[in-house]
Structure 1
Amino acid sequence: MTDLMLKYFRDKQQKAQAEKVYDTQCPFCSMQCKMQLIEQKIVSRKQYKTIGKDNPTSQGRLCIKGMNAHQHALHHERLKQPLMRVNDEFVPVSWETAIETISTKFNQLQSEYGKNALSVYGSASITNEEAYLLGKFARVALQTKYIDYNGRLCMASAATAANITFGLDRGFTNTINEIPETRVMILAGTNIADCQPTIIPYFEKAKENGSYIIAIDPRETSTTKLADLHLKIKPGSDIVLANGLLKIMIEKDLIDTKFITERTHDFDKVKAYLLSLDSNEIVSETGISLEELNQAATVFASEPSGMIFTARGIEQQINGTDTVRAFLNILLATGKIGKENSGYGAITGQGNGQGAREHGQKADQLPGYRSIENPADRKHIAEVWGIKEKDLPGKGVSAYEMFEQIEKDEIKSMFIMCSNPVVSNPNTNFVKKALEKLSFLVVVDLYMSETARLADIVLPTTSYLEDEGTMTNVEGRVMLREASFPVLGNAKHDWEILCEVANKLGKGQYFPYQSAEEIFEELRLASRGGKADYYGITYDRLRKENGVLWPCPTPEAQGTKRLFEQQFAHPDGKAKLALVKTESGQNKPQINERYPLYLTTGRVMSHYLTGEQTRKSSSLAARNVEAYIEIHPETAKKYGIEANKLVKVTSEKGWIIVRSQFSNTIRKDTIFIPFHWTENQNVNRLVGDSLDPHCKMPGFKMSAARISPVAY
């Protein structure tokens, strides 16, 4: 062997020895793409890169956020030790001091004001194990009824609508692999190209196969460009549009009468109402021509298979539940559900938006999608937890309503885990004042977020690279996120923090876990027999099968690829159509002389939620350094707005200042602002506090606003 060859093999061996590979999953959207972090040591410096890993959902793909996720996890601003507010400054303290202080304050407040003086605010970005444990922590360790989570601001409308209509909510009723084979699709209020980029190849393949795509959005986006028909709807008129489409299908006799008769309730009531509607009024209210309405209705109803996908565009409204149900009426009336290549997909936003809403973080829920008001459900969970059923607290209130309870002096303290409500909630000026009013605030986070800055104690948690556990992705596939990266500093896993606080409160016997897998084993028992049944899923199975679709009631079950093939999840096996009247949600904001423009909000590809993580990534932050207002040039001219200049945007709730960005494709009566920024760029300052009566979703997608140029 020559010297040159020896050097080659020696260099290769040294490189391999200096390289470490960490299996993990992207911490961002609900695709939960599998990936690996490659750590290479070059001299005394380490450098990192992320590559995709094959899996059933994203098939090895990554988007720009996933490729750069490690930048925020390894950022120098990561919290690495507990901090306590002393004389209005944060000072480092030991874990013992932090936990002792929390225990003492919690006991004092409950002794003086009762058990419900404490509250818990959770997250849809934590693992199933931690979501499950957080619900148990609230109800067993704290014995409070006040727990809810930030998923209330994202997926609540779709979840509630699916539960009412079908009797079960699992995001996708079919697997993601059926998308390329369906003949027609409606994308209602979803910009998947920017929000879930790695799902787009499924839709592109569908296009190649001849599928017809109908997109509903007041803006032209990367997603609407994929569509064969873009319905540029007037904000807030989605129910009118859905009703109008079904009205045309009924009039043209394009419905599936056999399916309706055998598998649904209340169609006759819906039909009678829809036929009473005036087509010209539908056109006027939606801004969609009768020709386009006829085209969309005829194509969707005529094809042998079809799917409807919804997301925040139609869900984040104060009539969001009714809006989703109006679209589900179309699926049911055309028989396009419970069969191959036909079904419903709620495009979940947050990383564990599906799993986090299944296992007890919601005010009205217990693990396994059980109801906290159902005696049998309460009895089952009490037995698993080893407590008396009567000791389980009752139903609390939704996420935003907890801040109203603070204002009313009902809640005195809040424990916030991995969420930033002072930025993410509507009417954020009010939310900030409510948090400042608390007697004691504890925040668990990776960074000193806007919410953490208001806390009395901040506890450092671990990132997706360090924290093992399961996540449930957009199609209802439970996946095991491996995490072997060394924990940074003195941070602890969320579940460890909960166990230590519970132990100090004298409830350690209920929180004896030594690993995430031990928690999952209890979650399996708690979910057994429930709607979201994970009993047949184990860590071993997840490693071998790369994910399992729930419900999976036994270890021998294969997981459920397609829901509702024989019956729906209601006791009689039938789905419930909804008589959704046009005036549903009439208290939604209306444009007027003072506030003449529709304001809608959304995401950009390079950022996620409040931006607290993605703005720590230099590669992502450089793509969108600030918020902006997307506005039609003619509208801008009308109000004296110049291109690329600062604009003051005002609603009844407040004002912000953002930079103008002209677009010829947005409706002239509509402006768009992304929600990933804070302080004077936080668009949620402008959003009102009205809530959907069914699910308590705020109306992020429709506010009334005015604009004016900022004088220099």
Structure 2
Amino acid sequence: MHTTATHCPYCALQCGMNLRPTGDGSVAVEERTAFPVNRGALCGKGRTAPAVLSSRVRLTEPLVRSHATGRLEPATWEEALDTVAEGLARTRGAHGPDAVGVFGGGGLTNEKAYSLGKFARIALGTSQIDYNGRFCMSSAAAAHQRAFGLDRGLPFPLEDIPKTGCVILVGSNPAETMPPALRYFTELRENGGTLIVVDPRRTRTAAQADLHLAPRPGTDLALALGLLHLVVAEGRTDDAFIAERTTGWAETRAAAMAHWPEHVERVTGVPLPRLREAVDLFCTPATGMVLTARGPEQQSKGTDTVSAWINLCLATGRAGRPYSGYGCLTGQGNGQGGREHGQKADQLPGYRKLTDPAARAHVASVWGVDPDSLPGPGRSAYELLDALGTDVRALLLMGSNPVVSAPRAAHVESRIRALDFLAVADVVLSETAQLADVVLPVTQWAEETGTTTNLEGRVLLRRRALTPPPGVRSDLDVMNGLASRLGGPVLEKSFPTSPEEVFEELRRATAGAPADYSGISYRAIEEQDGVFWPCPDGGPAAGTPRLFLDRFATDDGRARFTPVSHRDAAELPDAEYPLLLTTGRVVAQYQSGAQTRRVGELNAAAPGPFVELHPRLAARLGAAEGRPLAVVSRRGRVVAPARITDTIRPDTVFMPFHWPGEGRANTLTNPALDPVSRMPEFKTCAVRLEPVAEGSDAAPAR
């Protein structure tokens, strides 16, 4: 039977796999050893991905909320699309185009993300569009842009990691978040390189490191500045590289020297000898890398924190050279591509700026509209969600579940409930979809063709492997049908339903842009196991696997140092809330869990939320393993079983964020925003713990 080469629907590795029809209408996963990223390896989520294709767990017909019963009830596609178009048009007519919002997802293919941004701006005329990728790596993207002039998660392929001398991995736990990537760090050590892990928990990844630094949550910026201070004090800067390839060193050096290592030790809790050891491990070999993830990025100072780690790379000459550099481990499946092509509030396709007249003119010419008709920048993701039910009265949401995934989630849920109209296009009936007026069942990864861009900037092609169930349509079909109803045949033609036709338009829209896809085609992707952007038309067929080796993407070709100083988290412990909460993932679940919580094997491995705390803290509270604990912040209260372990700091507790209900971790988290990236401070907030009596009614999250 015919086997289809494709990619996993989950994280940004986009692991290669083969799908073989089973004869019962489903598919089985087989290894695809030739694909270079994972070389056949798959985690449990990838192996079980076909389970969500089952009609038993996914949506197979549109649902419309009945005025008579108040319940979501089956409807025809014509009825559902009519209702959505009427709801959006009614709101726009009564309150103006910016009263209609659009919220996208980092799992949408490039074609769908591109079309959604276009749909918001020319079909609805609204500026109010953003996506859940704002919660993923927007701080790293902002820091990348101001240092290098270009944002691509990794400026080099993963295969370069084992060839470097030392990696500092900051706030990342690939052993659980992207297990097939762990082999690159194992190979690094086998080759004689060293691994330093920065994490307040001794995670499965940290346990394999040569050095584990465990700072207090929210102090990564101070840690990076302390390391740079020691680099300068010990004469380990690369002065030739600084002079030839950078600007802004004098101001950055002065800022770092104000952060004395002894002070950094007090702020972070990392002993000074460990700081010196880290500097020695990083600076002794000729090459090195710093890789960050959500830990340092999901902070109200995340952009400056990432800039501090980039400064460390630049000062030591570990950027713009082979097997050296700074990179970000993107989280969501198409987190990279999703933010390149117009889902973000301030961007047009190809990473063009919405405020740039030349960019507006180019994209408008591809779309066949007047540049002046394009709206300006809108609200960032949390600000958009916070405005629901007030300034923004109707929302079209595709591929996201903010009721579980947004910070201050109980408040976000209340704002969603306050909407005049909500339409959700999704694969499953998520917690957010349950609140909708209309739910549209859409195709999944194995049922549609389209491209994604992985954390390396490698553009990949997923091929359709099986026919979707009757009653399910693609997101492209949804936008086409809505465009027809909102603007007639002319507007309908602007939203093709063929993914390859959309991609051909995307190529034209990105020509000459920072994220230039104009030289990429479906055929080229298949022939080469992916093409790295930028790939201008007429350029090398493989694109650009390694960025910045000759020059950086700034006007003068030099990287820019950014002077930064440590500042506290937006919320610190006090007498009422004496502990720090940090959140993250577990290996068997993914993001809000909307899909993975429907897979029996994954639920058996990770059946529900928990509160991880140190034995000393547990003894002080009288907490016992498996007994319920209440975690309380200024935003709400949640309850989950205790998990007692010495792998976490005694002043810190940890919760995974995959579950709704009384164990919803994001009920607690702080929406304080980074001033540059508008990233919320997911990674640290002040909490207290309260024992919950056995058999008592746990107070619900509020």
Is the TM value for this pair above 0.5? yes
Secondary structure of the 2:632 match is strand
C-alpha distance in 1 between matches for 2:492 and 2:22: 43
Tell me how far 1:543 sits from its aligned partner.
1.3
Task: Name the structure 1 match of 2:462.
Answer: 481
- Between stretches 648-657 and 100-109, larger displacement belongs to 100-109
CA distance in 1, matches of 2:493, 2:681: 39
- Name the counterpart of 1:430: 411
Contact between 2:629 and 2:690, CA under 8 Å: does it hold in 1? yes
Look up the match of 2:396.
415
Q: For 1:619 and 1:265, locate their aligned partners in 2 and report how far apart those are by CA, in whole Å.
A: 52
Determine the structure 2 residue equivalent to 1:466: 447
Q: Distance in 1 between matches of 2:613 and 2:339?
A: 35
- Partner of 2:242 in structure 1? 260
After superposing the two structures, state which structure 1 stretch, 559-568 or 607-616, moved more: 559-568
Residue 403 (structure 1) shift:
2.0
In 2, the alpha carbon distance for the partners of 1:692 and 1:654 equals: 22
- Tell me the distance in 2 between the aligned counterparts of 1:554 and 1:46: 40
Q: Partners in 2 of 1:154 and 1:512 — Cα distance? A: 28
Residue 194 (structure 1) shift: 0.6
For the residues of structure 2 that align with 1:612 and 1:555, how far apart are their CA atoms? 42
Say which SS state the counterpart of residue 55 (structure 1) adopts.
coil
What does 1:352-431 correspond to in 2, within 5 Å?
352-407=334-389, 409-431=390-412
The aligned amino acid for 2:267 is E
1:37 aligned to which of 19, 23, 28: 19
Shift of the alpha carbon at 1:513?
1.6
1:629 equivalent among 611, 622, 627: 611
d(CA) in 2 for partners of 1:66 and 1:304? 37
Aligned to 1:544: 527
State the 1:508 CA deviation: 2.6
Aligned twin of 1:492: 473
Residue 143 (structure 1) aligns with: 125
1:23 deviates by 3.3
Q: 2:48 aligns with which of 68, 72, 93?
A: 68
Rounded Cα–Cα distance in structure 1 between residues aligned with 2:62 and 2:256: 59
Residues 375-434 of structure 1, C-alpha deviations (whole Å, 9 max, x = no match): 110001000100000000100011110122225x21110000011011110001111111
Structure 2 equivalent of residue 306 of structure 1: 288
Alignment coverage as a number of residue pairs: 688
Asked if the contact 2:367/2:494 (under 8 Å) is kept, the reply is no
> 1:520 aligned to 2:500?
no
- Structure 1 residue 280: Cα displacement: 1.6
Task: Please report how far the alpha carbon of residue 512 of structure 1 lies from its aligned counterpart in structure 2 after TM superposition.
Answer: 4.6
In the alignment, the residues of structure 2 paired with residue 379 and residue 363 of structure 1 have an alpha-carbon distance, to the nearest angstrom, of: 18
Picking from 32, 35, 49, the partner of 2:28 is 49
CA deviations over 1:207-253 (Å, ceiling 9, x no partner):
10000111000001111012100001111110100000000000111
Shift of 1:514: 3.9
- Measure, in 2, the Cα distance between the counterparts of 1:109 and 1:208: 60
Kindly report which structure 2 residues correspond to 1:270-289, keeping only aligned pairs within 5 A, or say none.
Answer: 270-289=252-271
TM-score, normalised to structure 2, is: 0.96
Unaligned runs of 5+ in 2: 695-702
Query: Quick one: which amino acid aligns to residue 440 of structure 2?
Result: L
**For residue 622 of structure 2, what is the aligned residue in structure 1?**
640
How far apart in 2 are the matches of 1:517 and 1:467? 11
- What is the DSSP-based 3-state SS (H/G/I as helix, E as strand, rest coil) of the residue aligned with 2:583? strand
* Structure 2 CA distance for aligned equivalents of residues 184 and 77 of structure 1: 45
Correspondence for 1:706 among 681, 688, 694: 688
Decide whether aligned partners of structure 1 residues 47 and 363 sit closer, same or farther in structure 2, where only a CA change above 3 A counts. closer
Structure 1 residues 47 and 96, CA gap change in structure 2 (3 angstroms): closer
Give 1:521-670 correspondences, 5 Å limit: 521-557=504-540, 558-583=542-567, 586=568, 588-670=570-652
Separation in 2, partners of 1:687, 1:108: 35
Classify the secondary structure of the residue corresponding to 1:298: helix
User: Cα gap change, 1:341/1:323 in structure 2, threshold over 3 Å: closer, same or farther?
Assistant: same
2:215 to 233, 240, 248: 233
Is the CA contact 2:483–2:495 (under 8 Å) kept in the aligned structure 1?
Answer: no
Distance 1:510 1:390, change over 3 A: farther
User: Which residue of 1 is the match for residue 167 of structure 2?
Assistant: 185
- Amino acid aligned to 1:667: R
Percent of aligned pairs sharing the same letter: 42
Task: Report the CA distance shift for 1:196/1:241 in structure 2 as closer, same or farther (over 3 A).
Answer: same
2: CA distance between counterparts of 1:589 and 1:547? 43
Q: Kindly indicate whether the alpha-carbon contact (under 8 Å) linking 2:481 and 2:492 is maintained by their aligned counterparts in 1.
A: no
Cα RMSD, aligned residues only: 1.3
Tell me whether 1:444 sits opposite 2:425 in the alignment: yes
Cα distance between partner residues in 1 of 2:626 and 2:302: 33
Note closer, same or farther for the CA distance 1:324–1:106 as it changes in structure 2 (3 Å cut).
same
1:46–1:138 distance in 2 versus 1, CA, 3 Å: closer
Amino acid at match of 2:468: V
Post-superposition shift, 1:278?
Answer: 2.7
Matching residue within 134, 137, 149 for 1:155? 137
Give the distance between the partners of 1:242 and 1:315, measured in 2 at CA. 13
Q: Is the partner of 1:348 in helix, strand or coil?
A: coil
Quick check: 694-703 or 266-275, which moved more? 266-275
| In the alignment, structure 1 residue 320 sits paired with structure 2 residue 296 | no
